[in-house]
Homo-oligomer: A and B are copies of this chain.
Amino acid sequence: MTWPPLRTELQGVEPYGAPQLDVPVCLNVNENPYPPSAAVVADIATSVAQAASTLNRYPDREFTELRSGLAAYLNTSGGTGITADQVWAANGSNEVMLQLLQAFGGPGRTAVSFAPTYSMYPEYARDTNTTWVAGRRHDDFSFDLDHAALLIAEHAPALVLLPSPNNPTGTALEHDVIGKLCELLPESIVVIDEAYGEFRRDGVPSALELLPTYRNLVVTRTMSKAFALAGARLGYLAAAPEICDALRVVRLPYHLSAVTQATAGAALRHADELLASVTELRAERDRTVSWLREQGHTVADSDANFCLFGLFADRHAVWQGLLDRGVLIRETGPAGWLRVSIGTPDEMGAFKDALTETLTAMLTEESL
Residues of B contacting A231 in the complex (Cβ-Cβ under 8 angstroms): 51-52, 54-59, 257-259
Q: Are A59 and B250 in contact (CB under 8 A)?
A: no
Q: Are A230 and B55 in contact (CB under 8 A)?
A: yes
Known: A230-B56, A233-B59. A255 touches B92 (CB 8 A): yes
A203 at the interface (CB under 8 A from B): no
A61–B52 Cα distance when bound, in Å, is: 24
Instruction: Scan residues 125-181 of chain A and give those whose CB is less than 8 A from a CB of chain B.
Output: 127, 129, 158
Instruction: Scan residues 248-263 of chain A and give those whose CB is less than 8 A from a CB of chain B.
Output: 248-260, 263
User: A74-82, A99-107, A294-302, A352-360: which lies at the B interface?
Assistant: A99-107
A120–B224 Cα distance when bound, in Å, is: 31
A316 at the interface (CB under 8 A from B): no
A68 at the interface (CB under 8 A from B): no
User: A42-50, A194-202, A282-290, A330-338: which lies at the B interface?
Assistant: A42-50
A83 at the interface (CB under 8 A from B): no
A189 at the interface (CB under 8 A from B): yes
Q: Are A4 and B232 in contact (CB under 8 A)?
A: no
A1–B186 Cα distance when bound, in Å, is: 11
Residues of B contacting A5 in the complex (Cβ-Cβ under 8 angstroms): 104, 158, 187-189
The main secondary structure of chain A at its interface with chain B is loop
A303 at the interface (CB under 8 A from B): no
Known: A92-B252, A106-B7. A258 touches B232 (CB 8 A): yes
Q: How many residues of A are in contact with the other chain, CB < 8 A?
A: 87
Known: A4-B242, A259-B48, A260-B259. A56 touches B41 (CB 8 A): no
Q: Are A228 and B55 in contact (CB under 8 A)?
A: yes
Q: Are A257 and B242 in contact (CB under 8 A)?
A: no
A8 to chain B, nearest CB (A): 9
Instruction: Scan residues 22-81 of chain A and give those whose CB is less than 8 A from a CB of chain B.
Output: 26, 29, 31-36, 40-42, 44-46, 48-49, 51-62
Q: Are B248 and A103 in contact (CB under 8 A)?
A: no
Known: A5-B189, A257-B260, A259-B263. A40 touches B52 (CB 8 A): yes
A94 at the interface (CB under 8 A from B): yes
User: A11-19, A205-213, A306-314, A321-329: which lies at the B interface?
Assistant: A11-19
Nearest CB in chain B to that of A274: its residue = B56
Report the 8 A-B pairs with minimum CB-CB distance, sorted nearest first.
A231-B258, A45-B49, A56-B228, A15-B248, A233-B257, A55-B231, A94-B252, A41-B52
Chain A interface residues (CB < 8 Å from chain B): 1, 3-7, 10, 13-17, 20, 26, 29, 31-36, 40-42, 44-46, 48-49, 51-62, 91-92, 94-95, 98, 102-107, 109, 120, 127, 129, 158, 187-189, 215-216, 224, 228-233, 240, 242-243, 246, 248-260, 263
